[in-house]
Structure 1
Amino acid sequence: MSEIRAFEDRLHKENTGGDIPGFIHLYAGEEAIAVGVCEHLTPADKIASTHRGHGHCIAKGSDIEGMMLEIFGRKEGLCHGKGGSMHIADLATGMLGANGIVGGGPPITIGAALTAKYKGDGNVAVSFTGDGGSNQGLVLEAMNMAVVLNLPVVFVFENNGMGEATGAEFAVGAPSIAKRAEGFGLPAVTVDGTDFFAVHEAAGEAIERARTGGGPSVIEAKCNRFYGHFEGDQALYRTPEQLEELKAKTDPLSIFRDRTDGVLDPAELALIDSESEQRVDAAVATARAAALPDPSDVDTDVYVSY
């Protein structure tokens, strides 16, 4: 969680210089969800992400230097500088990709879960989707198909209450994603997405169910994002005072420190934060000095040869 926060806070600063191509959507404030879920996964398990995908990448084990190179559009990035922030992927760690299509992840994880079931290898697939994506038709079709085929998949909905700049109260008739999921026959729970331990417990149960043939599940994790929908978003839908209150009351890192008070040494946690910042600093320095893709590379990585 510390590394994700350091990564996102640094990107927020770097983006103001205009050196990063494309849109950036930051995950700060939602760290407990990605980490709480991915702690249960192996490199062979698959995840599909959203446009807000850096946290999922890091939690799944992606190298932050390779990620930073990719976000800066450099040739040695995880996707050779061609994906950038919104389409970053790392198949070596089972990260099937961020996605510019809202709700695009669940159908992809259906394919990964069907593969795992067919092979009988005990692997699972997990999709991360925002509350806005929960209203997309393909997401609903994916949940229904997962039940019909009894697939080893977990649908995680990161509910920060806003689809871009529109609050759920203005756009959603049935605001409980978990209750909607139950209509498809899915076991579904709602958890505090700012509490690592709450997410970790719910994810452990759902992933074990999937891994042992019990079928799909839904986790709705309530959370808040600390930056705008995208970098450059003026975020006029909430006041600075509201944002400061959210940070004071719902910061996953602060909540983790409170929950582990008397168990973990605060100095050790502070050292982790310092080391995270140092790794991110080094990744930025490497990315700034790295080469851009050659124009001749435009025709590569387009098709897969079987």
Structure 2
Amino acid sequence: MREMLATVLSQVFSGMVQKSTLRGLLSSLKFSNDATCDIKKCDLYLLEEGPPTSTVLTREEALKYYRNMQVIRRMELKADQLYKQKFIRGFCHLCDGQEACNVGLEAGINPTDHIITSYRAHGLCYTRGLSVKSILAELTGRKGGCAKGKGGSMHMYAKNFYGGNGIVGAQVPLGAGVALACKYLKNGQICLALYGDGAANQGQVFEAYNMSALWKLPCVFICENNRYGMGTAIERSTASTDYHKKGFVIPGLRVNGMDILSVREATKFAADHCRSGKGPILMELQTYRYHGHSMSDPGVSYRTREEVQNVRSKSDPIMLLRERMISNNLSSVEELKEIDADVKKEVEEAAQFATTDPEPPLEDLANYLYHQNPPFEVRGAHKWLKFKSVS
């Protein structure tokens, strides 16, 4: 470290490095480059070995994960505010509390892999590469939205991300279909098919399990168990709450979904399982949502405020990562506060855009029905009204 510091100082005095750059370098020198962290052992089903119980977290990774989770948290809180101000209409399902699932899943796969999920999709949209501006503008139905203002909260898409699906559990067989395409094309890619604990009892989910097991599809079935299907506690709706065992012949993992490192390592393990040709695997992420099921649900009629507060104070995913970073000298309170301020500014600017960007014009109604199609006419509400569709 002394040699590095001496080199930097000599470059400063010779005019090769600016003083602002020096401050950044000196700041980074006082932190550790990485840390070995213990993580909770996963519960296993039909598996002899599972994910590791310790992993290395680099400073660069930690800062990235922390920022991404803070963006998702602030974005969802801003969506809550915009909904109450009536800038957002219709259905809106928030995922604050589940940030470790969103960020951890993305950290465990490749950008070329595929994800499909339910209507609680905002966080995954962000981790798949969409900007906060395009997500919030989609929620408010504006031209600058990621789906041109046509999809709203439940139907957002990105590269290798297939929504945002409104019908409970319907995305799971679609995810199996994406995995079938991966196997057919022999491209080494996999698909993550996410659903909630409420959807875990849907018949089509079990049909997808069956076909995937028969054909050994590279599909990771992921149950985000946030303990309540709409307003019903899992114990009241499900005879067996061991969701990681519900694939019968499909191996499963039960993962601490509030710890980003647990989610990341379990996802890497599951992805390797699928890529090796062993067929599907099932992951249950034990997580929690702070808001109600949707904006029409205050979330306190079937659970107490004390319960929510207890999770916030003991298991909050952002808090857990922050404590881990500080205790392992990967960052400081001051540095994380700077990230918080930067995130707040980004979300505020995105919200300003989402409330001022114009709505799409009527003549765009039939656009983007197909990908890479020549323009064609689409009949409107009656036979004399026609729109031109362009891709």
TM-score > 0.5 by shorter chain: yes
Q: Which residue of structure 1 aligns with residue 46 of structure 2?
A: none
Q: Which residue of structure 2 aligns with residue 295 of structure 1?
A: 362
- Residue 239 in 1 paired to residue 239 in 2? no
Aligned to 1:86, the other structure's residue is in SS state coil
CA distance in 1, matches of 2:121, 2:218: 22
Deviation at 1:296? 2.1
Single out whichever of 250-259 and 130-139 deviates more from structure 2: 250-259
- Residue 268 in 1 paired to residue 339 in 2? no
Deviation at 1:208? 1.4
Deviation at 1:271? 2.3
Asked if structure 1 preserves the Cα contact closer than 8 Å seen for 2:245 and 2:251, the reply is no
Which of 259, 279, 282 aligns to 2:324? It is 259
Asked if structure 2 preserves the Cα contact closer than 8 Å seen for 1:39 and 1:59, the reply is no
Deviation at 1:37? 1.0
5 Å-filtered alignment, 1:1-306, equals 1-90=69-158, 92=159, 94-181=160-247, 183=248, 185-235=249-299, 236-260=301-325, 261-266=327-332, 267-303=334-370, 305=373
Q: Which residue of structure 1 aligns with residue 66 of structure 2?
A: none
CA distance in 1, matches of 2:324, 2:352: 35
Single out whichever of 130-139 and 60-69 deviates more from structure 2: 60-69
CA distance in 2, matches of 1:268, 1:106: 40
Q: Which has the higher contact order (CA 8 A, sep 6+)?
A: 1
Which structure has the bigger radius of gyration? 2
Asked if structure 1 preserves the Cα contact closer than 8 Å seen for 2:216 and 2:278, the reply is yes
Asked if structure 2 preserves the Cα contact closer than 8 Å seen for 1:110 and 1:146, the reply is yes
Single out whichever of 37-46 and 8-17 deviates more from structure 2: 37-46
Could you tell me which runs of 5 or more consecutive residues in structure 1 were left unpaired when the two chains were aligned.
Answer: none
Q: Which amino acid aligns with 1:250?
A: S
Deviation at 1:180? 1.5
Single out whichever of 62-71 and 26-35 deviates more from structure 2: 62-71
Single out whichever of 159-168 and 12-21 deviates more from structure 2: 12-21
CA distance in 2, matches of 1:299, 1:228: 34
Deviation at 1:292? 0.2
Aligned to 1:220, the other structure's residue is in SS state strand
What do the CA deviations read for 1:122-154 (whole angstroms, capped 9, x no partner)? 111101110011111111111111111111111
Aligned to 1:108, the other structure's residue is in SS state helix
CA distance in 1, matches of 2:125, 2:75: 11
Asked if structure 2 preserves the Cα contact closer than 8 Å seen for 1:129 and 1:157, the reply is yes
Asked if structure 2 preserves the Cα contact closer than 8 Å seen for 1:152 and 1:211, the reply is yes
Q: Which amino acid aligns with 1:101?
A: I
Deviation at 1:54? 0.5
Deviation at 1:12? 1.3
Single out whichever of 200-209 and 61-70 deviates more from structure 2: 61-70
CA distance in 1, matches of 2:234, 2:138: 33
Asked if structure 2 preserves the Cα contact closer than 8 Å seen for 1:29 and 1:250, the reply is no
Asked if structure 2 preserves the Cα contact closer than 8 Å seen for 1:34 and 1:59, the reply is yes
CA distance in 2, matches of 1:273, 1:124: 34
Could you tell me which runs of 5 or more consecutive residues in structure 2 were left unpaired when the two chains were aligned.
Answer: 1-68, 375-391
CA distance in 2, matches of 1:273, 1:155: 33
Equivalent pairs counted in the alignment come to: 302
Asked if structure 2 preserves the Cα contact closer than 8 Å seen for 1:52 and 1:86, the reply is yes
Identity between Structure 1 and Structure 2 (%): 35
CA distance in 2, matches of 1:174, 1:49: 23
What do the CA deviations read for 1:199-226 (whole angstroms, capped 9, x no partner)? 1111110011212322211110111100
CA distance in 2, matches of 1:79, 1:167: 34
TM-score, structure 1 normalization: 0.94
Aligned to 1:127, the other structure's residue is in SS state strand
Deviation at 1:303? 4.9
Aligned to 2:265, the other structure's residue is in SS state helix
Aligned to 1:174, the other structure's residue is in SS state coil
Asked if structure 2 preserves the Cα contact closer than 8 Å seen for 1:224 and 1:250, the reply is no
Q: Tell me: CA distance 1:147–1:263, structure 2 relative to 1, closer, same or farther (3 Å).
A: farther
Q: Which amino acid aligns with 1:21?
A: R
